[in-house]
Chain A
Amino acid sequence: MPKLLNENLKYNYLAEDEPPVRDERVGGCVAYCGSCSGLQSDFKSGCAQSQNRKFSQSAGCQLGLAVGIVNSLTRALLIVHSPLGCCSGMAGMAGVSASNRASRGLSVEEKPFIHTNMDEFDVVNGGVEKLKRAVIYADQEYHPEVIVIANGCVPGIIGEDIEAVVRELETQISARIVPVHCEGFKSRFVSSGYDAANHGILKYLIREPKEYPQLTEEAQIKYDFAKKYRTSRTVNIFNVGSNSNGDEVELSRLVSALGLIPKVVPLHCTVDDLDHLGEAALNVSICATHDDYLLGHLKERFGTEYILDVLPIGINCTNEWIRKIAAHFHLEKEAERLIEQENKELLEAIQPFAEVLKGKKVFVGGGETRILTTADFFKTVGMDVVGIKAHNVDRFVENLLNDIKDPNLVVEVGAHQPAEELNILNGLRPDLYVGHAGANGWVTKLGIPTMPLFGAPINYMGYSGAYELARRAARVLKNTNFSKNISKHVSIPLTDEWLATDPRTNIVEGNRF
């Protein structure tokens, strides 16, 4: 019996201003280079978790991920309490959030955001006054339902009391103010940002839901009964920033097919939706790395059971995801019927792609759960998975990792770190690379055809997602001229000495550099 993913984890941190970072709460491995069997045993013994790297490249910052969650809420306005650089990428993303919302049929709204623009004066004297002015400006100009204050490194280091600002202003303005502590320097795990955002949502946003006006006794009984029934059949599907509307539609379809009521939360929701978060029989995560803090806490608060351990990507994992949900409602038979029918149709449909993909070498890099499930799917269509690279590896994928039966599979762990990854890819030379944004460009320059691991228009999850994944992979291989041409004329900045070095020598025990 594999152990529970969140055994012994605690979720009662709401009294604190911020949750403990993942380094403390969960732990995990951020640097590893070697084989799958090596990582399996080193992870078990704890050695993998104590490794670091000598030459390191820009990793990630939890700020962006935290903001991605809270800023997606309907009628939310973001205040970035920091100098101008933090979140400056949002300047060029106006159309992205609009099309994200439009693809879900939600009203497209202007997404203003404010920087407190901390300068040298503020570093010395504090920027709280500016922050207060910004909150009041935001409330007066835009009347948002939620004002998010994302805290950057500068206020984090000088120790600004953001909670005091919230306490002072929340009675003066109509918006709910949510402080999010997502200082980049605090954690080596970008996934800490998910906890920071969810902590803010749990502590400051979710309130007692508004009930309807007084009903007649008879109507009240009917209403209560209907609500009770609805709640007993409702499944909250927790979406993530990297899933598309296509994914949500597909997963909702599968839940509906079991006769249950799917509800997709929390991204893009209104505050009212969040208030009603407790009205569900089951909370289902599609990625444990994202959601364990949120779902664990909701269980403590509302008693809602949850499923954490399956990401519905590919055929096997989607089957498993359905089985787990069905088991909670004792719908095992219905689930098997659904799975049988869906698998039959899907296998037939992907047959032409499987013929193209069979025997082709593939390398998958990106977030831990997504890459492991993707690799599993590629194996089922007959591809030769030659290597995987995870941003980090923690307890949430231990079971998935142990399921891999290929002991010599090349495994790298590192947030981005393209030097190590390109070194490995240069040796492996796969036919196809599937990777996280930011990596695909470098791999193209190496001459390897690439395909992004996620994206707003891409359906990736569920059965239809599996079909699309095979269809896209087969399409990419139809013409690989772009990467061939680019690699001939554009060079990567790494020295021959590095490319000839065994990347394993870059990994060291402890925090030496």
Chain B
Amino acid sequence: MSDFIERSKFSCALGGALTTIAAIKRAVPIVHASGGCASALSGAYNLGSGYRGVGYCGGSMIPTSNIAQSQIVFGGEDKLSGQIEATLKYVKGDLYVAVSGCQTEMIGDDTVGIASRFRDQNVIGVSTPGFLGNTLRGYDAVLSALIKNLVEKTDQKSATTVNILGIVPGHDVFFRGNISHLKELLGKIGVKANTFFGDNETVEDIKKYGDASLTVVLSESAGQIAAKAFENTHNIPYITTDLPIGPKASERFLHLIGEKLGIDRGVIDKVIEEENEYFYSYLERVVDVVADLDFQRYLVTITDSYYAYPLVDFISEELGWIPHFVSVNDIQNKEKQDAYAKKFEQLTSETKPQVIFEDKVGLTKKKLRKSWPYNNNQKYYNALGPLYVVGSVVERNLATEYGAGFLSVAYPVSNRAVLNKGYAGFRGALSLVEDLLSNLVTNR
């Protein structure tokens, strides 16, 4: 049983489904729910995800059955099939995904069954009531349905093709930039990456994802169910690793995938050498200002598990800041929490961060306050500073209270407009350094 959440940084499963569908090229959602669900949930990711917009057919454009009181009593299945028929006629799309909301699932409408009647017209149904879980659950539900029903089965596997999962569109505000950095990086070692949401990936391409020989999941809490669907339906094994940010993490990432796919180590090492050179030729530019203005900071991160370790790893291992406090909001299982916290022991920094798992913002704030001795008005006080907070826009006030530097990376990010920026790989990490430091010099 779940507990209540303060200032949730997630939407519901339907919200996750809609933000996922919005990221697939020319995919059209058809929502079987009350009138407001579709545009409100789509709007949440328009505003909260660096103003990504509602997409090809999002927001108020989303075809919806708009069920009201009479359908709650008498059922809304007719209304849904009418909507699917009309949508196929009036809305252009390569894929139509019928998704359900709380109301229609509670009254027992069979959204998936009705959608299956239109399967020959590219309609797929997915059950995604809000009470199923959070955004990540909706992401997994939609992708699993596509993997089972859209991706074609094949025994011909390509030895150098991988499927990438765990990058949740919208919930990862930088998903397009991150995907593009990873695709480019993997391309350099001769690996083709299927990502569902990449710049030139179409529904036709998605149908061929069955030819991959490995699935790489970049999150502990998203993409795991979809990866199992790839394994069960298409015999593609999967591994879970972290989103690589910066040279050291990218190096580990490339070696891991190279090893699994049997790629020549020499090829990988050459790419790593070139990319390292590129990275440091740019990082060199800020060496003077970092050294002259003493830019080392204590680091606090308040994010989901997808970003927590990768960010701390990069900022601690590459920039040499001091990881002090890590708050993660999306892992509830105690064993998984312990395993996740254990990762931070790998850090080579003298100080290891305190890692907490908390989805109530007020308690996170209290725990941060307790993580450091109070100032009892003594003459000499070892303060927690200079401090830098990396989180979501929700942490802005917290950073102000501590007089800390601040960067919003995790959802929601409504104080920045994000287009093609990403933080993954060697090159994305340069953008991260730019953003972290820009914040420290913005008033100069």
Contacts and interface: CB of A to CB of B under 8 A. Distances in A.
Contact of B38 (A58, A92, A115): A58
A122 interface: yes
B235 interface: no
Interface stretch (B49-57, B215-223, B238-246, B250-258): B49-57
Contacts of A141: 362-363
A158 B5 contact: no
A185 B11 contact: no
A119 B35 contact: no
- The residue in B3, B83, B130, B362 that gathers the most chain A C-beta atoms within 10 A of its C-beta is B130
Interface residues of B, number: 87
B69 interface: yes
B68 A64 contact: no
A493 B28 contact: yes
B131 A184 contact: no
Interface stretch (A252-260, A372-380, A436-444): A436-444
Nearest to A188: B68
B405 interface: no
B349 interface: no
Nearest to B65: A56
A58 B396 contact: no
B70 interface: yes
A94 B414 contact: yes
Interface residues of A, number: 75
A16 interface: no
A220 interface: no
A333 interface: no
A84 B134 contact: yes
A54 B89 CA distance: 12
Contact of A110 (B3, B28, B62, B397): B397
B48 A83 contact: no
B68 A186 contact: yes
A160 to B, nearest CB: 13
B102 A83 contact: yes
Contacts of B131: 83, 118-120, 122-123, 154
Given A63-B36, A86-B130, 11 more contacts: A56-B63, A83-B129, A85-B11, A85-B12, A91-B394, A94-B397, A94-B412, A114-B4, A123-B106, A442-B60, A494-B90
26 contacts: A55-B87, A58-B39, A58-B59, A59-B66, A64-B36, A64-B40, A85-B11, A86-B12, A88-B15, A91-B392, A92-B44, A94-B393, A94-B396, A95-B414, A114-B5, A119-B131, A121-B2, A122-B1, A123-B106, A123-B131, A133-B4, A153-B101, A185-B67, A438-B43, A492-B61, A493-B56
Interface of B: 1-15, 26, 28, 31, 34-44, 47-49, 53-54, 56-57, 59-72, 78-79, 82-83, 86-87, 89-93, 101-103, 106-107, 129-135, 360-363, 392-394, 396-397, 411-415
Q: Enumerate the 10 nearest inter-chain pairs by beta-carbon distance, A residue then B residue, closest first.
A: A61-B36, A92-B48, A85-B12, A59-B35, A83-B130, A416-B60, A58-B38, A55-B86, A92-B414, A92-B412
